[in-house]
Amino acid sequence: MQTFKTFTILFWINKSKKRNDDAPIYARVTVASKRIEISLKRFIPIDSWDPVNNCVKGKTNKSKEINLYLDRVKSKLFACYTELQMGTGEVTAARLKALYLGENPDEKTLLNIVEYHNKEMVAVLKPGTMKNYRTTEVYIRKYLQERLEVQDLELKRVNFKFIIEFERFLRGSNPATRQAITNNGVMKHMERLKKMLNLAIKLEWMLRNPFDQYKMKFEEYDRSFLTEKELRKLERKEFERQTLEKVKDVFLFCCYTGLAYVDVKDLSYNQLVKGIDGNVWIQRKRTKTKKSIRIPLLPPAKEILKKYKQQKVHWKETDKVLPVYSNQKTNKYLKEIIRACKIKKEVSFHVARHTFATTVTLSKGIPMETVSKLLGHSKMATTQTYARVLDTKLSHDMQRLMKNYK
């Protein structure tokens, strides 16, 4: 027999699911601070519910009948709790609900594998990746509660129909931003769910993955970047507001180095070394992939370093090379800067990295293998997503070819 755990039962009406003036009665079961809810499939007029005594008001036959039913529900839940207490498995709210509903309390569920994955992978995956998995978990829970009207689902019931209906649910609006999730955003959530179900198979919690019949449909899209003309326009623009001037300089520094936001924010003087050519190089590991990168500094990047080395007293973190604001503020100020430069395109900070890959390197004839090394990519395919043949380079290359026909 197990030690006693806090166990409570509360009846309540769910007004969010009302039909006309009637609302369904739910049982909220809490075990050791973890709670689940069970729909009792009974509707009553909202004004007839007594929230203090957890019962239906009045002495009508219907009131007596429902209150008697609530007593039976409470007795059955207590009996299920006692049965779990006498057993060897852990007493949890989820197992109690399964037993009450006549299901196997030891049957593994969808949230079992989601929670297991996110707990085990927190020491393996990068913080940003874990954040994405937790976002996927939020959507899974919302889908279960809002569409299926359940708190959890047995893994054996996660089938192909579940998969395609979950995709359809994701294609609805994002409640956090009031904007629809993009196709590739939906596919990323589906990809993460597939990986979690693959883990369930390895743990022998499932026999097969319903994703075996499902095909991911990622859309190709052009990554935004600044052209040579737009880059020059940005360089020539000077701002009286120091916040804008600093953000502009940090952005330009990344246009000429290919550094991501998180890497330039963390860039310190001990990561600036003398390269084999005698010039200043950046030598560090990328935060995202932990892959080593070595980047020789181009003259524009050197000028920005020189400017802020002279202004070092103006910010607190004395070991950092450049004054970098939070990601949110940086992107906010960057939008102001782009508007002031009359550049008509959507620009986020990551556009600097795209600009380095296209305008600054590939369009100047730098081999893709070299660009891949500078960006710290493990696969050439990743670099190819940044690469594009600009019209200027296309024209230049074709002019050289045409000389062979003269």
Residue 1: what pLDDT? 44
Burial of 39 (0-12, 13-18, 19+ CB in 10 A): middle
Q: Which residues pair with 335 in a beta bridge?
A: none
* Positions of the chain with pLDDT lower than 50, given as ranges: 1, 313-314
Residues 95, 96, 100, 105: what is their CA dihedral angle, to the nearest 10 degrees? Answer: 20
Locus of tokens 């939070």: 326
Q: Which fold has domain 228-401?
A: hpI Integrase; Chain A (1.10.443)
In angstroms, the CA 156 to CA 240 distance is 63
Q: Check: pTM over 0.85? Answer yes or no.
A: no
Provide the residue ranges of all domains of the chain, joining segments of one domain with +.
7-100, 110-213, 228-401
Cβ atoms 127, 133 nearer than 8 A: no
In angstroms, the CA 260 to CA 254 distance is 7
Burial of 293 (0-12, 13-18, 19+ CB in 10 A): buried
In angstroms, the CA 104 to CA 37 distance is 17
Q: Cα-flanking dihedrals φ and ψ of residue 276, to 5°? A: -65, -20
- The three-class DSSP label of residue 208 is coil
